[in-house]
Structure 1
Amino acid sequence: MSIPLLKFPYLIQIGIFKQLEFDEIFLMSLCSKKTKIMIQSARINVERLLYVLFDHAIQVSVGYNGRFQRPHDAIMLERVEVIARDSRIRIKLGGTNIDCSYRKRFAMTENVYLGYPSSEEDMFLKSFQRHMSSLFQNRPENTLITVFTNALYNSTGIKNINNAEIFIKEPDVLNTSQLKDFMNFHPTLDTIQLIFPLTGPPLTRESKIMKIKGLSVYNPGQRTSELMANFNGQYLHLANATYDFNDWKQLLKKWKRKESYGNLKAVITSPLQRNFVLDFDDLAAEFDLQEWDGERRPKNYRLDTTISHIRSKEYNCSKWLDMQQDGGGKWASITLGPSEINFVVWD
């Protein structure tokens, strides 16, 4: 039995739309212009839209806003060669009339599938993103996630990407030249999270990825020194890093002398070798490390980054040691624990 939703009082309609899940909101928005306007009137906010790239499909969902948490709360955009006549429907997407296919698939969960011709991918994805951006009150961050190197080149149709999470699975590998191409495709990127060892030409201070606001690398291996020496962004996160005393000494020295790291806000790391210990006495003497006096800077430091694993994380820095740039410059704090070495710069 159908429910005459638009015949309900206005406030009841708004309340109903606010209780719908993401896939339901999307489908309702395609029903009519009036329904779409009512969804817009509900003034729904989402933190970010997630685009997960597979070989022949893109899974779209929303994340991290306290709602829309169900596993099947997603839309699958499926690339096909031809849309069969008996499954073809016409929808208005982002102001454009588009022929596509529609189906629901039941596996572990129920997902909505929209099929589109591969020959019209750029137009379809552009219209889809325009439609999505019109549904919510705020402008959500766009995050792209992939586990295939081929998908990096297939991502060009998705615009205004803010964050990327690239989890390449063996035996596939990612070359630094492919990473460079990917960043050229997406000039709006603020953060990149990588999980794999990198291959290919060295990264330098002029490499685009070294200038990104936030960079997170898991298992950087022998690239650790290269990443620490050349990073010129704001937030560097290295998990299972293979660094040594000299890597940290050079970073602290160049920051203190204002020779490099002018944009740096934090370096958050964990060593691959557990119980890794830096020579505290050497560092304390060279960089005049001081205990916190409760006056020169706050007690807590909050990371202002969209890197998913450390976003908005707050540290109690009361036991951290402080150092100052030459010439009365900025203050920074460092902690030298056996399982983590972190360095933050105070504004």
Structure 2
Amino acid sequence: MPICLLKLPCLVRDLVVTQLEYQDLFLLSICSRRTKFLVKEARIKISKLTFLFEQSHGYNTFSIGVFTDKCMWIPVTSLLHVPKLALKEVCKVKLDHDYEAATNIDIWCPLNGVFLNRIECANDPMAIHKAFQDHINSIFHYSDTYQLFLSTKPGGNLPNISNVTEIRILEDTVDPTFLTNVLTRYPDVRSLSIASISDGELPKDSPFFQIQNVGVRLHSVSHYFLVFFFWILNTPQTLINEELIRLTIEFEEYDPNEPEKRPEHFVFDVPYVSVIPRKFSLRDPEFIEIKRITDGKRAFFRFDITSFQLLVHND
């Protein structure tokens, strides 16, 4: 027998709301002002929120969820951008700041038994992205920063969201122009994860050179990237020629008779998406020390046929 949530005793009602999944809470929040108030009053705490912007079945899809430390995706909702609504049963959805959108709401249950929801909408993407973010912030009392998983397939379209500090680009290669546009659009980015950059140089003033934490999973190491990774030790004056690098940077192999000249370990624990903290032994003979002659700034690198590792000290 159906039970009206609003007619339950306060204590029971709050208990029911706090046991709901994130996506159930979102659906409840758009049913009415009263149900939205119930969700806000429950003060559900949510982990680091992640946006996923990709293309699905020819349509741009904007998903919101939580990407856990165990690389699990916990959905909150998803938004499918369509040119027009196909169904006659159109639902008016009111988000935060009284933003209204005509939508088709799809709800289905895959094999794992968890109900999923998707909202189809023909509104201006720039406006509804911002409305969705504000609504999620409101119902979960969220004020932290965001991760963004980004596909290049939607073309030049980028989601209209703010406070993004971590970005992961999903494709195997990234065009330098696209990368520069992304980092210009989201100026607060501190961590970037990409597979590789396609042929072509980044502009000298590209925001890429200002990113604090960069993870690049290279398929092959070109001359261009070797020069960049060595020169990242320097000020962001841009890439220069190899001879100038030799004049400003010296290399030193590990001397087992003087182990104290190197730190014993380097802990790799920066907020890339889906990266587990690692500890490197810098007194391994495979690591070569790089030292900038001008100010003594140090780094350590090693490489083989499959990988290239450069560890840079920030002090």
Which structure 1 segments of 5+ residues have no match? 235-245, 257-281
Distance 1:104 1:138, change over 3 A: closer
Alignment of 1:159-178 (within 5 A): 159-168=162-171, 174-178=174-178
Distance 1:251 1:181, change over 3 A: farther
**Equivalent residue, structure 1, for 2:117:** 112
Alignment of 1:85-96 (within 5 A): 86-95=88-97, 96=99
Q: Specify the SS of the correspondent of 1:157.
A: coil
Alignment of 1:22-37 (within 5 A): 22-37=22-37
Q: Deviations over 1:77-136 (max 9, x none)?
A: 11111224622111211221222111224556653121111x522111111111011122
**Equivalent residue, structure 1, for 2:279:** 315
Residue correspondences, number: 295
**Equivalent residue, structure 2, for 1:343:** 311
Q: Specify the SS of the correspondent of 2:135.
A: helix
What residue identity is the alignment partner of 2:106? R
**Equivalent residue, structure 1, for 2:82:** 80
**Equivalent residue, structure 2, for 1:224:** 225
Conservation of the 8 A alpha-carbon contact between 1:104 and 1:112: yes
Alignment of 1:165-244 (within 5 A): 165-168=168-171, 174-200=174-200, 202-203=201-202, 206-219=205-218, 221=220, 222=222, 223-231=224-232
For residues 252 and 59 of structure 1, what CA distance do their matches in structure 2 show?
49
CA shift for structure 1 position 59:
2.5
Q: Deviations over 1:289-335 (max 9, x none)?
A: 95248xx97x6654453211436x142658468898879977x5747
Q: Percent identity?
A: 17
TM-score of the aligned structures, taking structure 1 as reference length = 0.68
Higher RCO, 1 vs 2 (CA within 8 Å, ≥6 residues apart): 2
For residues 114 and 37 of structure 1, what CA distance do their matches in structure 2 show?
21
Distance 1:81 1:203, change over 3 A: closer
What residue identity is the alignment partner of 1:111? L
Conservation of the 8 A alpha-carbon contact between 2:48 and 2:146: no
Distance 1:283 1:337, change over 3 A: same
TM-score of the aligned structures, taking structure 2 as reference length = 0.74
Which structure 2 segments of 5+ residues have no match? 236-240
For residues 176 and 38 of structure 2, what CA distance do their matches in structure 1 show?
46
